[in-house]
């Protein structure tokens, strides 16, 4: 794999990936309903005569379906052909970021432009070596920007099979701007619960906004550490390399009222019971990975 393909890849930054593309369907109630049912989202804002589309549906209105879009630019196809030709034949979607400027409503007809925003230098990940390609899509209604959808993929050459010891590492948390405060708390041995700045409802896990009142303001409350086992499962199958089954995964109800998934320590997996009182502690489960866990009270 030669590195000298990078300047040629980089030359595609700023080039259009799609120009004046048109959504296949207007924003419509049936698609909104199917989405909400699939997501289990019963928020009233997405129902009734004044319904708006869930903001996270933004990309759905731009999708080409099985038949695809005819608006994709030649530059986009060339970039991918170049990556394939350099041996980066595999692809994985890594992440997406969206910004919402105004709500979409049934009947809105969307148009969108997409630009190849960046092509990274060659990077090596656990999957293999390749280049991240970030595409930014601007979604408009009647010419006004309604939202932005930034989508990142990795085009890569698959790695050779990894040595055994790295196969057994625990998965690492994905830390982003919505949950970084939680992991900062863990690093300081504090279990932080979000509290809505609008209706004061406590919430866990961390979210950018309140499911109750929609407020995006929040502060945090430090959990006292007392809890009970609300429910649990014992994992036998499937087997994940870093974990040795059977083991118990518990849903802990904190004294503050919110629940979190965690491990129960201090008793064998088959002695975990609903209602058991537990107490928070921080456990270094692996070098470089500390997690909140719950110890059964009175079991040392
Ligand atoms: Zn609220």
The reply to whether 163 falls in a domain is no
CATH of the domain at 116: 3.10.129.10
Write down the residue that tokens 């969108």 correspond to: 112
Q: Identify whether residues 150 and 194 lie together within a single domain.
A: no
For residue 128, give both structure tokens: 């293999």
The reply to whether 243 falls in a domain is yes
Q: What is the pLDDT of residue 19?
A: 87
User: Nearest-CA neighbor of 79 among 10, 125, 18, 128?
Assistant: 10
Q: Identify whether residues 68 and 138 lie together within a single domain.
A: yes
Ligand 1 centre from 195 Cα, in Å? 8
- Cα(first)–Cα(last) distance of the chain, in Å? 55
Average the pLDDT over 227-249 and give the result. 91
Cβ-Cβ contacts under 8 Å for 173 (sequence gap 6 or more): 179, 183
Q: Identify whether residues 148 and 187 lie together within a single domain.
A: no
Q: Give the span between the Cα atoms of 91 and 93, in whole angstroms.
A: 7
- Residue 81's SS3 state is helix
The reply to whether 170 falls in a domain is no
Buried b (16+ CB within 10 A) or exposed e, 118-143: bbeebeeeeebbbbbbbbbbbbbbee
The reply to whether 171 falls in a domain is no
Q: Identify whether residues 12 and 105 lie together within a single domain.
A: yes
**Average pLDDT, rounded, for the chain:** 91
Domain extent, residue 72, equals 5-158
pLDDT in tens, 126-138: 888 999 999 999 9
The reply to whether 59 falls in a domain is yes
Q: What is the pLDDT of residue 43?
A: 94
User: Nearest-CA neighbor of 297 among 258, 241, 252, 242?
Assistant: 252
Ligand 1 centre from 194 Cα, in Å? 10
**Could you tell me the pLDDT band of residue 259, with boundaries at 50, 70 and 90?**
very high
Q: End of a domain among 158, 189, 220?
A: 158
Q: Identify whether residues 149 and 248 lie together within a single domain.
A: no
Q: Give the span between the Cα atoms of 128 and 162, in whole angstroms.
A: 10
Q: Give the span between the Cα atoms of 5 and 122, in whole angstroms.
A: 10
Ligand 1 centre from 282 Cα, in Å? 29
Of all residues in the chain, what percent carry a pLDDT higher than 90? 78
Length of the chain: 300
Q: Identify whether residues 17 and 152 lie together within a single domain.
A: yes
Q: Identify whether residues 190 and 154 lie together within a single domain.
A: no
- How big, in percent rounded to 5, are the helix, strand and coil portions of the chain? 20, 40, 45
Q: Give the span between the Cα atoms of 61 and 72, in whole angstroms.
A: 16
Which of 64-78, 248-262, 279-293 has the lowest average pLDDT?
64-78
Q: End of a domain among 127, 158, 189?
A: 158
The reply to whether 104 falls in a domain is yes
Q: Identify whether residues 201 and 292 lie together within a single domain.
A: yes
How is residue 157 annotated by DSSP? E
Q: Is the separation of the CB atoms in 153 and 133 below 8 Å?
A: yes
Q: Identify whether residues 15 and 110 lie together within a single domain.
A: yes
Residue 35 has pLDDT above 70, yes or no: yes
The reply to whether 223 falls in a domain is yes
Residue 244 has pLDDT above 90, yes or no: no
- Residues with CB in 5 Å of ion ligand 1: 196, 198-199, 201, 210, 212-213, 215
Which of 56-60, 118-122, 163-167, 173-177 has the lowest average pLDDT?
163-167
**Could you tell me the pLDDT band of residue 141, with boundaries at 50, 70 and 90?**
very high
Ligand 1 centre from 193 Cα, in Å? 14
Q: Where are the beta strands (DSSP E) in the chain?
A: 16-22, 90-100, 110-119, 123-124, 128-141, 144-158, 192-196, 202-203, 218-222, 226-235, 247-254, 259-262, 264-265, 277-286, 289-296
Q: Identify whether residues 113 and 191 lie together within a single domain.
A: no
The reply to whether 169 falls in a domain is no
Buried b (16+ CB within 10 A) or exposed e, 25-46: eebeeebbeebbeeeeeeeeeb
User: Nearest-CA neighbor of 191 among 252, 234, 247?
Assistant: 252
The strand pair at 264-265 and 289-296 is best described as parallel
Cβ-Cβ contacts under 8 Å for 290 (sequence gap 6 or more): 186, 187, 282, 283, 284
Ligand 1 centre from 212 Cα, in Å? 5
User: Total structural domains in the chain?
Assistant: 2
Ligand 1 centre from 228 Cα, in Å? 25
Ligand 1 centre from 67 Cα, in Å? 42
Of all residues in the chain, what percent carry a pLDDT higher than 70? 96
Q: Identify whether residues 186 and 273 lie together within a single domain.
A: yes
Q: Identify whether residues 148 and 198 lie together within a single domain.
A: no
Q: End of a domain among 158, 192, 209?
A: 158
């Amino acid at each position: 794999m030669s590195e000298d393909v990078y300047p040629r890849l980089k030359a595609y930054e700023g080039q259009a990936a799609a120009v004046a593309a048109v959504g296949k369907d207007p924003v419509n109630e049936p698609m909104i309903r199917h989405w909400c049912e699939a997501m289990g989202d019963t928020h009233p804002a997405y129902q009734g005569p004044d319904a708006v589309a869930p903001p996270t549906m933004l990309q759905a209105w731009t999708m080409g379906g099985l038949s695809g879009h005819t608006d994709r630019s030649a530059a986009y196809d060339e970039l991918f052909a170049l990556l394939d030709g350099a041996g980066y034949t595999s692809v994985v979607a890594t992440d997406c970021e969206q910004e919402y400027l105004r709500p979409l409503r049934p009947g809105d007809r969307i148009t969108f432009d997409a630009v190849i925003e960046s092509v990274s230098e060659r990077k090596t990940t656990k999957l293999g070596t390749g280049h991240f390609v970030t595409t930014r899509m601007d979604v408009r209604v009647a010419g006004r920007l309604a939202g932005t959808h930034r989508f990142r993929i990795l085009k890569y050459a698959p790695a050779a099979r990894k040595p055994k010891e790295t196969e057994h590492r625990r998965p690492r948390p994905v830390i982003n701007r919505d949950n970084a405060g939680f992991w900062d708390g863990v690093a300081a041995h504090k279990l932080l619960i979000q509290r809505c700045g609008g209706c004061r409802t406590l919430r866990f896990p961390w979210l950018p906004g309140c499911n109750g009142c929609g407020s995006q303001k929040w502060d945090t409350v430090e959990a006292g550490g007392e809890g009970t086992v609300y429910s649990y499962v014992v994992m036998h199958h499937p087997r994940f390399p870093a974990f040795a089954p059977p083991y118990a995964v518990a849903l802990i109800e904190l004294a503050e009222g919110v629940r979190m998934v965690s491990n129960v320590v201090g008793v064998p997996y088959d002695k975990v019971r609903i209602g058991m009182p537990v107490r928070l502690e921080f456990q270094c489960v692996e070098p470089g990975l500390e997690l909140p866990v719950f110890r059964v009270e009175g079991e040392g």
